[in-house]
Amino acid sequence: MEDLKLPSTLQEALISSLPASGYYVPNFITPTEEEQLLRKINTVPHPTWKHLSHRRLQAHPSPLSSSNTLLAADLPAWLSDPVIPRLLSIPLVNDSKDNIFSNSPHGEPNHCLINEYQPGQGIHAHEDGDAYYPVVATISLGSHIVLDVKPKDQAKDVGWRILQEPRSLLITTGELYTACLHGIGQIEIDEDLGAEGITNWQLLGDQGAFSGGQVVRETRISLTFRDVKKAQRLGKVFGALGRR
Ligand SMILES: O=C(O)CCC(=O)C(=O)O
Ligand SMILES: [Fe+2]
């Protein structure tokens, strides 16, 4: 049995050097769970992947409509279990029943984007916008990656680098979601890894794997779980059409 050591509250996982709030949990899933997820993701029928120039992606249960509405449906069980219950099991603070999605419109994630990056691929600096409740829970599979974060306010000449190990969970919310941009460099080797440049260095599960200062990327898959604010059940959509 592979043991998981989850933090007893999210405060233990707070990345304190970042604008509020980012949380990092190494080894959020086991190697066996990682393998099972990768197998599922890689055996979905080919058309499910949307190919972009610098990555490919799947949207579950489906992509958002042009008005940012989700056709509400359950996430596939292989994607939601055990990840979502585990995520919701971590209290925000001591002696609280609240978790990171307690105040979101649906009380839990209803959407998951799966991004795949080959070494040398990335995603330009962007914000995730207001289609979603401002919490993103990202699980990394297959390889580490560095997420670059900077304030939207260009006058602020600062930035942070978050190292995401395989099997880790990163939660971005608060100011980090609303006032910052995030992106992933299109490079094959991450360099300058260490306590100086990596903002979550003290929270890593295996600092030793990165202490040489540089690591070659392999194929990395991210699962980004979010709560889409506008979600409509199919019955309601048809009902509305019928009334026209
Ligand atoms: O792959 C990641 O970790 C980031 C993906 C991302 O920023 C997005 O899908 O909006
Ligand atoms: Fe994003």
Q: Give the DSSP H/E element, type plus range, for residue 79.
A: helix 77-80
The answer to whether 225 and 112 are in contact (CB under 8 A) is yes
Please give the CATH superfamily to which domain 10-242 belongs: Alpha-ketoglutarate-dependent dioxygenase AlkB-like (2.60.120.590)
Ligand nearest to the CA of 126: 2
The pLDDT confidence band at residue 238, using thresholds 50, 70 and 90, is low
Domain regions of the chain by residue span: 10-242
pLDDT above 80 for 57: yes
- Residue 21: CB within 6 Å of ligand 1? no
The pLDDT, as a whole number, for residue 240 is: 60
For the chain, percent of residues with pLDDT exceeding 90: 85
pLDDT above 90 for 225: yes
- Residue 222: CB within 6 Å of ligand 1? yes
Of the listed ranges 1-5, 72-76, 178-182, the least confidently predicted one is: 1-5
- Residue 114: CB within 6 Å of ligand 1? no
Q: Nearest Cα to 81, choosing from 236, 187, 223?
A: 223
Average pLDDT value for the chain: 93
The pLDDT confidence band at residue 40, using thresholds 50, 70 and 90, is very high
The answer to whether 167 and 140 are in contact (CB under 8 A) is yes
Strand, coil or helix: 28: coil
The 10 Å CB-count burial string (b at 16+, else e) for 126-158 is eebeebbbbbbbbbbbbbbbbbbbbbeeeeeee
